[in-house]
Chains A and B, each alone.
Chain A
Amino acid sequence: MSDDQQTADTIEEKPYKPSSPSSKLNFDGVWEYDDAPQSTEHAEVKEQYDLYIDGEFVAPEKGRYFDSVNPATEETLCSFAEATQQDIDKAVKAARNAFENEWSELEAKERGKYIFRLARLIQERAREFAILESLDGGKPIRESRDVDIPLAAAHFFYYAGWADKLEYAFPGKKAEPLGVAGQIIPWNFPMLMLAWKIAPALATGNTVVLKPAETTSLTALKFAELCRDAGLPDGVVNIVTGAGQTGSTIVNHKGIDKIAFTGSTKVGKIIKESLAGTDKKYTLELGGKGPNIIFEDAPLDQAVEGIINAIFFNQGHVCCAGSRLFVQEGIADKVIQKLRDRMETLIVGDPLDKNTDIGAVNSEQQYNKINEYLELGVNEGADMYQSSCQIPEEGYFCRPTLFTNVAQSNRIVQEEIFGPVLTVQTFRTAEEGIAKANNTPYGLAGGVWTDKGSKIFKVGSKIRNGVVWSNTYNKFDPTSPFGGFKESGEGREGGLHGLYPYVKLR
């Protein structure tokens, strides 16, 4: 502990200067990329969407709808139904009925075949889903097209295969479904989080009531169409839209056997508290402040790329973002120089442009929060650097941002910003790096960069995170379990371990 203290006091962050006065790279002029907009012809957005309950699209009982905004234009995209107690009652009843009379009666391999169908249908309509995801949530089409949607399909494909093989997953035990799962997902990866939730729940024989985030409900309702097209029995999947109140109604609903939540640690704690004393199982995937540790023997250019992917992927709206960079002192200047040059090539703008690297911040609220943190960082005395890129006048856009001259004691280092904002600290020894990495209540994910194999295993085993990316960052796969230590959550999603939260073992 006293070590940390000492470090914070004695480190002198030098202001940035290139190692040679003439060695400034120039990324301007000569040849700029023209707009490369993704055509939106095939993606239809209706003016208004209803709830999907018991295989039908139905209007909400109270008749209330709320607007969803395209964060890149600040224009209203469409409106969604607000589900209230009566609607949730209906959805839970439908899910219960489907669980008891259809889904649990079905042979496991047939259940699996439905899930395979869903995977295939997502693949068939992948481009449409990608466009809608970018329109509704602001993420660049390159990511929704190459990451979110293909991974969502892969998730269904992976868990489909588990449906009739569960006896191999739990040695010595028999797995039984829990019943009705209430699932609440965030706005950062709407379709992918839906897949993370629904695929394992269905594979293990549960039925679901899922609530997408209020700013990004579009793809979930498109997915409801796929459920219908797949011939999935009515009530197995129910999609209800709404904000926090709707979520809370689900959490507290007596007819629900399991809650799966992905979102902030703050809300996760409220949910955990509401479930106190009940028999509901729950999984929580919460916040993080991921350490990304770069040793001097790392493959530096790939590490720089890894740092970029760690913090600027999906505008930094990633719970496992590598938002705390730790660089070994001897290479700090070099890494920061490379990082700044790399940041200059990031293209911020229209999410539907195929060349966009960083799209729109998801909502006005989040945009304001990020800006508050930028101000806070400056007020805390940190040095802020932002890339010089152009950003659109309309819409919620944020330049990629780097803070140096910070320490663990700064709020911008401690708190999850959930935006394209990186803090950079240095360390001298592996022990110091590990101690700083672990100096947080979070424990979701982190990166370790070194060319030395034994160091990877040592550091990897000492950092208290559910995911360790060594010499890479922000990689996801349906076979790979994901989830946090400490205040980053409880339980795992993905892989064999992702089956546990949806079964009781006998």
Chain B
Amino acid sequence: MSDRIEVLKTYKTYVGGNFPRTESGRYYKVYDKDDNVLANACQCSRKDLRDAVVAAGDAQPGWNDRTAYNRGQILYRIAEMLETRKAQFIEELETIGYSNEEAEEEVNTSIDRLIYYAGWSDKYQQVFGTINPVASSHFNFSMPEPMGIVNIWAPEERPLLGLVSVMAPVIVGGNSCIILASEKYPLSAVSFAEVLNSSDVPGGVVNILTGYRDELLEHMTTHMDVNAFFYTDTTVDEEARKQIDENATLNLKRVIRKPIEDWLADDSQSPYFITDFQEIKTTWHPVGL
């Protein structure tokens, strides 16, 4: 047994429910805590982004048409799947320097976070929607609706928890997304795609790319079919921040910047993260016979 050769995993991207390699054929090396090469990650190009946006666009209306209850159940299902693969994720985190306890805490918190947002799926509308008592004979109500397609930079640190924490509030509200995984630690993200793929999330709702932020910044923030851009790292420098904002001007992309230091803290989850990716729609109708 001991001289069996281990089968190594190829880390690919996750687009439209499939696991393609980057169309560019490029890769970059991912290292473990001891600077040994762990894997070759895809260095995604703008064309991979383009494909992912198409997949996200195809998936979003159907995802939004699901009942809130169903979306909640699917988020819960992701948590279940993650729970069953806990060991794998702990191990992966350990290779990049987490202690066993730290790794377990991150995975546990990730599971709990999914459940937190799963529970919000059919409640945030009640908390953040309103019935408006207009001074005329009309029934009037305001409801949150998803913005559509969201591009996300997953946090650089916390490769699993960070990713889950930025993904869950976006998709629970009916959006689809393209997530650029942590540049330094992309492997958990790719493994997490396998969880997604086995948990009833329709293909295209979550798309995960790996690669360089600098290279993809422009296309992620200028793409005209993307409605919002979301990032949380406090380390993003002034110049990049300005660039993001300026590029977003092109189609009035919503830029949601939520600097978060500690993803384990309770205030790193909130229903307000869901509503950040919602538009309020107000509907009027006459009341009469």
Contact = CB atoms under 8 A, between A and B. Distances in A.
Direct A–B contact in the complex, CB atoms closer than 8 angstroms: yes
Interface of A: 154, 171-173, 265, 268-269, 272-273, 275-277, 284, 286, 441, 456, 460-461, 465-472, 475, 477, 479-483, 485-487, 489-490, 492, 495-497, 505
Contacts of B254: 490
Nearest to B275: A500
Interface stretch (B83-91, B129-137, B162-170): B129-137
Contact of A468 (B242, B249, B272, B281): B281
Nearest to B224: A441
Given A495-B130, A497-B280, A471 B286 contact: yes
A480 B134 contact: yes
Given A173-B272, A486-B227, A505-B272, A276 B285 contact: no
Given A272-B248, A276-B249, 8 more contacts: A171-B271, A441-B251, A467-B283, A479-B140, A480-B140, A481-B282, A497-B130, A497-B142
B130 A496 contact: yes
Top 4 nearest A-B pairs (CB, nearest first) are: A277-B242, A276-B245, A477-B134, A479-B132
B252 A284 contact: yes
B277 to A, nearest CB: 13
B23 interface: no
Contacts of B251: 441, 486-487
Given A475-B136, A475-B138, A466 B282 contact: yes
Contacts of B280: 466, 481, 483, 492, 497
A173 B270 CA distance: 10
A62 B238 CA distance: 36
B51 interface: no
Interface string B241-259: 1111110111110100000
Contacts of B244: 276
A444 to B, nearest CB: 11
Contacts of B282: 466-468, 480-482, 495
A468 B127 contact: no
B246 A276 contact: yes
Contacts of B138: 472, 475
A374 B254 CA distance: 34
B135 A275 contact: no
B142 A273 contact: no
Contacts of A496: 130
Given A480-B134, A495-B132, A465 B249 contact: no
Contact of B283 (A265, A468, A497): A468
A456 B285 contact: yes
A480 B281 contact: no
A487 B238 CA distance: 25
8 contacts: A171-B127, A272-B245, A276-B243, A461-B145, A466-B282, A471-B285, A479-B134, A495-B132
B28 interface: no
Contacts of A472: 138, 284-286
Nearest to B242: A277
A483 B144 CA distance: 12
A472 B283 CA distance: 10
Contacts of A489: 252
Interface in B219-253: 227, 238, 241-246, 248-252
Contact of A273 (B132, B135, B249, B284): B249
A210 to B, nearest CB: 23
Contacts of A505: 272
A479 B248 CA distance: 30
Given A277-B242, A461-B145, A481 B132 contact: yes
Nearest to A441: B251
A477 B136 contact: yes
Contacts of B136: 475, 477
Contacts of B227: 486
Contacts of A475: 134, 136, 138, 284
Interface in B50-94: none
A172 B269 CA distance: 12
Nearest to B127: A171
Nearest to B279: A485
A441 B286 CA distance: 29
A98 B85 CA distance: 58
B87 to A, nearest CB: 35
B142 A481 contact: yes
B246 to A, nearest CB: 4
A123 to B, nearest CB: 14
A277 B142 contact: no
Contacts of B243: 276
Contacts of A487: 251-252
Contact of A467 (B250, B252, B281, B286): B281
Contacts of A497: 130, 142, 280
A505 B270 CA distance: 12
Contacts of B285: 456, 470-472
Contacts of A268: 252
Interface in B123-156: 127, 130, 132-136, 138, 140, 142, 145, 147
Interface in B181-230: 227
Contacts of B133: 479
A490 B249 contact: no
Contacts of B140: 477, 479-480
Contacts of B249: 269, 272-273, 276
A460 B285 CA distance: 11
Contact of A469 (B132, B241, B242, B284): B284
Given A461-B145, A468-B281, A505-B272, A480 B132 contact: yes
Contacts of B241: 277
Nearest to B131: A479
Contacts of A286: 252
A272 B252 contact: yes
Contact of A495 (B142, B145, B242): B142
